[in-house]
Structure 1
Amino acid sequence: MGNSRAYPVFRTTDKPAAFAQAVRLCALLARRDDEVYLTADLLTVADVRQMAAALPGTKVCVKVRTDPSGGSVWADLDLTTAADSELQPRLPLHIGEFYPARSADQRFLTALGEGTASVQWSGSWPEDPDADQHGSAKYDGVQVVFHGDQAQADRWTEHHTVFVHVSNRGDLPRARKLAAHTGGEVLGEAQLGW
């Protein structure tokens, strides 16, 4: 039970550099899921159009965060066919969806606007007999948060942060080893992960 613990291991203002570092960390996973989880805040109609072009034909549930009561409502919109006049009053929009890993993540990167977004790769870290550490398909993985410094991506920042996710008890030694494999280091305390 519980959530993974996410350790920040890389931070930059360069989106492609953050993405590349996350991909390098993914290469260390002993097993990686076939899908990634993508989230994005789409701030403008242009952002919506770019995302629809990057993931053509994809119909997603869009979380509309402009409910008058301050809450969130869900709208079932097809981003490829919705008219600008239908999108504009609902901005900002939030998408969150699983996509095939090899076909969506790089296209997603090129379609990002200035809103907070993330790519999450789940899998399991390799066994580490020297440290008596075992991989966990429930908790392990890599995440890059664009325009954010929190694994839960709750506030906008200028920089982009890469996280390694480990067991729900936290595993600082494993996080340090993983970061070191790609020339990085743990940059802060463990955060609540997925």
Structure 2
Amino acid sequence: MGNSVAYPVHRSTDPAEAYAKARRLCGLLVRRYEEVRVGAELGTVADVRRMVALLPHVRYDHTDMRTHPETDEPLFFELDVRTATDAELAVEVPLDFSYTELPAAVAEEEFVRAVGTGPASLSWEGSWPDEPELGSYASPKYDGVQLVLNSDECEWSRQVSGVHTVYVHVTKFGDPGRAERLAAAIGGSVLGEPERGF
């Protein structure tokens, strides 16, 4: 039980560069699960259209809880994003979806390009190599790499347009030495305090 500890190891204003660094880190995993998890907040109709072209069957929802003005009952997003008009979507944004599996037919680079100015995330899970001489061991439940677009937080709840952050995830107990070694492997360093991860 619990969450990984995530360390920020690279920030860039160029999403393609940040993606390339994240993929280099993925290459250091000795085992990587095939599943890539993605999520995004879509602030405009154009953002929704770009994402729906890639992920038409994802369950989209309001980013913020909405309630009926008279009954105070929760309102759920009911439109079919594939057929909704721009006018219908305009009153529904922002929309989001969280940690859905990226279909094999969709390239990761396409997802990165489709993200607008809202926060988004790609996560790759697996196992880091055992390094017994350094006291570091694989933690398959917690190890991985995450690219957070338009945010400087692992949980990508705060929007910071144009800032893209790469995280390494390690055991739930943290491993600053491993994080530093992984950061150095992509020409970086740990950039801040550890955060709550997956």
Of 109-118 and 92-101, the range deviating more from structure 2:
92-101
In structure 2, what is the equivalent of residue 137 of structure 1?
Answer: 140
Q: Give the TM-score of the pair, scaled to structure 1.
A: 0.90
Distance in 2 (alpha carbons) for counterparts of 1:130 and 1:152: 32
In structure 2, what is the equivalent of residue 172 of structure 1?
Answer: 176
Distance in 2 (alpha carbons) for counterparts of 1:72 and 1:170: 39
Deviation (angstroms), 1:35 = 1.2
The answer to whether the 8 Å contact 1:34/1:100 transfers is no
The total of aligned residue pairs comes to 192
- Asked if 1:192 is matched to 2:192, the reply is no
In structure 1, what is the equivalent of residue 27 of structure 2?
Answer: 27
The answer to whether the 8 Å contact 2:60/2:95 transfers is yes
What is the Cα-based RMSD across aligned positions, in Å? 2.1
Deviation (angstroms), 1:29 = 0.6
Deviation (angstroms), 1:72 = 7.7
Change (3 A) 1:12 1:71: farther
In structure 2, what is the equivalent of residue 59 of structure 1?
Answer: 57
SS at structure 2 position matched to 1:60: coil
- Asked if 1:7 is matched to 2:10, the reply is no
Deviation (angstroms), 1:62 = 1.4
Question: Which protein is bigger by CA-based radius of gyration?
Answer: 2
Unaligned runs of 5+ residues in structure 2 are none
Distance in 2 (alpha carbons) for counterparts of 1:91 and 1:33: 33
Change (3 A) 1:72 1:91: farther
In structure 1, what is the equivalent of residue 117 of structure 2?
Answer: 114
Deviation (angstroms), 1:13 = 1.0
Stretches (4+) displaced over 4 A? 69-74
Listed as ranges, the matches of 1:10-159 within 5 Å are: 10-55=10-55, 58-64=56-62, 65=64, 67-68=66-67, 74-75=76-77, 77-96=79-98, 97-100=100-103, 103-158=106-161, 159=163
Distance in 2 (alpha carbons) for counterparts of 1:174 and 1:102: 33
The answer to whether the 8 Å contact 1:5/1:165 transfers is yes
SS at structure 1 position matched to 2:35: strand
Q: Report Cα offsets for 1:127-153 as digits up to 9, x if no partner.
A: 112113221221010011111111011
SS at structure 2 position matched to 1:109: helix
